Amino acid sequence: MLSIRRISTSRWWHKKKNWILFAIFLFLVFVRISKGSFYKDFYYFISKPFWPGQFQKEIVLKSIEQEYLIKLNLLKKDNERLRRILSLKESSNGDHISAAVISRKAGSWWRQLILNKGSKDGVEIGNIVIGPGGLLGRVNSTSIFTSSVTLITSPESKLGVWVDRPQINGLLVGLGDDFPNLILYSKNTDIKVGDFISSSPASTLLPPNIPIGIVQSIDETLKSKKTAKISLLAKPHVIDWVQILKVNIK
C-alpha cells in the first residue's frame, strides 16, 4: 500500500514539474515576444512610490530658472559687446582710426596685435591703441596696410600710470601674462584691492586719464617697494575692433 502511494506521489510531482517547466517556457516566450515590456511595467508600479515629489520638482524648476538667467546674462553681454564693436567700427575721424584685429601673437615674449590699418591710413609708430574698456598698447611698427601693437601685457611694455584713490603715480610693467605688475616705490603707499588705474598725467608715452585696469592683488613682501597685480579693463584676447589714437607723445 505504501509503495502505491509513493508511485502516485511521484507521478503527481513529475506532472506538476512538467507544468512548471512548461509555464516557465511560456513566460520566457512571452518576455521574448514583448521585449521586456512586462518588466518595465512591473518596475513602473513598484517604483511609483519613490518617484520625485514636489521637493525634487522645485529643485528642477529652480535649475531651469537659473539656466535661463545665465543664458539671458550671456545674451546681454554679447549684445553689449556687439554695440561696443559697432561703436568702434563707426567712430573713425581725423584723430581716431578704427581698425580690425587680424592676428594675435599671444606668446609670453610676443604679446602683440596685428591690425588691418597701416601707414597708408595715417597710422604711425607710437600711436595709442584702445579697445572696449581702455588701453591696449602702442603701435610699434607699420607697413603700408598693417600695423603691429605692443600690448601693455608684453615684457617690453613699461608705462607710467595713476592710481586714482590715493592720488599717486606708479610704473606698470608687463610680465608676459594677462596681469601686468604695478610697482610703487614706497612701502607706505595706501593702495587697496579695487583701486582704479589710468594713464598718468606725468607719462611721457600716453595721454592722461585713459582707463587701464583695477588692482586685483597686492604683494607687500618686498622691503623697499610695494607691487600689485592689475586686472585690465580691456581684454586683448577677446577684442575684435580697436581705435588707434593719432597721438604720439615723445
Distance CA 29, CA 220 (A): 80
Q: At residue 243, does pLDDT exceed 80?
A: yes
Asked if residues 46 and 38 have their Cβ atoms less than 8 Å apart, the reply is: no
pTM value is: 0.61
Asked if residues 107 and 237 have their Cβ atoms less than 8 Å apart, the reply is: no
Cell of 146: 598693417
What are the counts of helices (DSSP H) followed by strands (DSSP E) for the chain?
Answer: 3, 12
12-32 pLDDT, tens digit per residue, is 555 666 667 767 766 666 656
Q: What's the pLDDT at 74?
A: 67
Smallest CA-to-CA distance from 211 within 98, 126, 120, 133 is with 133
87-146 pLDDT, tens digit per residue, is 544 444 557 888 888 888 766 556 889 999 999 999 999 999 998 888 999 999 999 999
> How many residues are there in the chain?
250
Q: What's the pLDDT at 108?
A: 58
Asked if residues 197 and 217 have their Cβ atoms less than 8 Å apart, the reply is: no
Cell of 142: 607699420
Please report which confidence band the pLDDT of residue 52 belongs to, taking 50, 70 and 90 as the band edges.
low
Domain spanning 94-250 has what CATH number? 2.40.10.340
Smallest CA-to-CA distance from 161 within 177, 179, 173 is with 173
148-181 pLDDT, tens digit per residue, is 999 999 998 999 999 988 889 999 999 988 899 9
CA distances from 191 to 15, 185, 220 (A): 96, 12, 11
Please report which confidence band the pLDDT of residue 237 belongs to, taking 50, 70 and 90 as the band edges.
confident
Between 204 and 147, the more confident residue is 147
Cell of 185: 616705490
